[in-house]
């Protein structure tokens, strides 16, 4: 047994609420809202993002909304996003379109310097079995290719306004390219788009800062975006989630201040 497994076992013994949450998660006890509140969901950040996108869309009178995953890899996240989209959308009477962007062949070459964190990521990682994943998807649309090419094409298509995006492209260069999604016109975006950034949390070996990786992409976007838009942390985040979790620190929001609906009241 390795150190991580031993630590998890110790937490289960010494922390009763952790064991209860794991049981609720495994048996899918209670509603989706309840499991989100007690931290008993896979990829709870996706549930939060979809829920928020559906809420804002409904308050603004939209009948549909789009949610996006940049960086699909084997597809577990996209399948989860699809499931949450179906349930939250059905309950609110809002159709949720799900899109997954990926090369389909793993990570491309990093930029030839430090910005893409080549000591963490390497070419070819996170490859996808495309036929296998497509066979599992029910409604999500898989868009394959480099985002530099696929996003401009996507922006010319008809799609519901975007309300939630997960960024998991690892590299600074790919994340910066993915921010081209915010070149969308007002009708293609909600005035505030919930964003989840997977690769901004450090561990014992990879250390993130705003000079590399996703945080650098965010910084450079904001420096060039002008006064009418920004990507900013959602701090402090107050929700009905009972047990604070790491993913809550990885939620940001894209704001388009001059969007015609930005000032529309959305309270109860």
- The CATH number of the domain holding residue 185 is 3.40.50.150
Average pLDDT score over residue span 179-200: 98
Q: Does residue 7 fall inside a structural domain?
A: no
pLDDT at 7: 54
Confidence of residue 10 (pLDDT cuts 50, 70, 90): low
Query: Could you tell me the end-to-end alpha-carbon distance of the chain, in angstroms, rounded to an integer?
Result: 51
Closest CA to 256 of 158, 185, 175: 185
Q: What is the mean pLDDT of the chain?
A: 91
Confidence of residue 21 (pLDDT cuts 50, 70, 90): confident
Q: Does residue 188 fall inside a structural domain?
A: yes
How wide is the angle at C-alpha 212 spanned by C-alphas 174 and 112, nearest 5°? 65
Average pLDDT score over residue span 151-171: 97
Give the domain extent around 239: 53-256
Strands (E), the chain: 64-70, 95-102, 141-144, 162-167, 189-197, 229-233, 251-256
- Please say whether the beta carbons of 65 and 97 come within 8 A: yes
Confidence of residue 12 (pLDDT cuts 50, 70, 90): low
Q: Does residue 192 fall inside a structural domain?
A: yes
User: Structural domain tally of the chain?
Assistant: 1
Q: Does residue 58 fall inside a structural domain?
A: yes
pLDDT at 145: 97
Average pLDDT score over residue span 89-109: 97
Q: Does residue 14 fall inside a structural domain?
A: no
Contacts of 157 (CB under 8 A, 6+ apart): none
- In this structure, of 148-162, 194-208, 229-243, 246-260, the range with the lowest mean pLDDT score is 229-243
pLDDT at 235: 80
Q: Does residue 252 fall inside a structural domain?
A: yes
Is 60 exceeded by the pLDDT of residue 54? yes
pLDDT in tens, 198-243: 999 999 899 999 999 999 999 999 999 999 999 999 987 667 777 7
């Amino acid at each position: 047994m390795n150190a991580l497994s031993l630590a998890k076992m110790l937490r289960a013994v010494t922390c009763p609420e952790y064991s209860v949450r794991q049981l609720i998660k495994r048996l899918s006890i209670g509603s989706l809202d309840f499991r989100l509140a007690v931290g008993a969901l896979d990829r709870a950040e996706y549930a939060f993002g979809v829920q928020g996108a559906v809420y804002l869309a409904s308050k603004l009178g939209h009948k549909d909304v789009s949610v996006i995953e940049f960086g699909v890899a084997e597809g577990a996240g996209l399948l989860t996003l699809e499931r949450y989209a179906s349930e939250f959308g059905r309950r609110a009477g809002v159709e949720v379109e799900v899109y997954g962007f990926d090369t389909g062949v793993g990570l491309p070459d990093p930029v030839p310097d430090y910005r893409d964190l080549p000591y963490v990521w390497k070419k070819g990682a996170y490859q996808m079995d495309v036929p296998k994943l497509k066979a599992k998807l029910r409604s999500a649309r898989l868009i394959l290719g480099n985002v530099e090419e696929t996003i401009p094409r996507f922006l010319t298509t008809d799609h519901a306004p975007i309300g939630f995006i997960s960024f998991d492209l690892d590299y600074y260069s790919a994340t910066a390219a993915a921010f081209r999604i915010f070149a969308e016109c007002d009708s293609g975006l909600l005035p505030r788009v919930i964003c989840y950034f997977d690769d901004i949390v450090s561990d014992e070996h990879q250390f993130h800062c705003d000079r590399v990786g996703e945080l650098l992409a965010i910084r450079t976007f904001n420096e060039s975006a002008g006064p009418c838009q920004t990507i900013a942390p959602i701090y402090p985040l107050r929700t009905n989630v009972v047990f604070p979790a790491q993913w809550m620190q990885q939620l940001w929001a894209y704001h388009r201040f001059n969007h015609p609906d930005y000032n529309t009241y959305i309270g109860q």
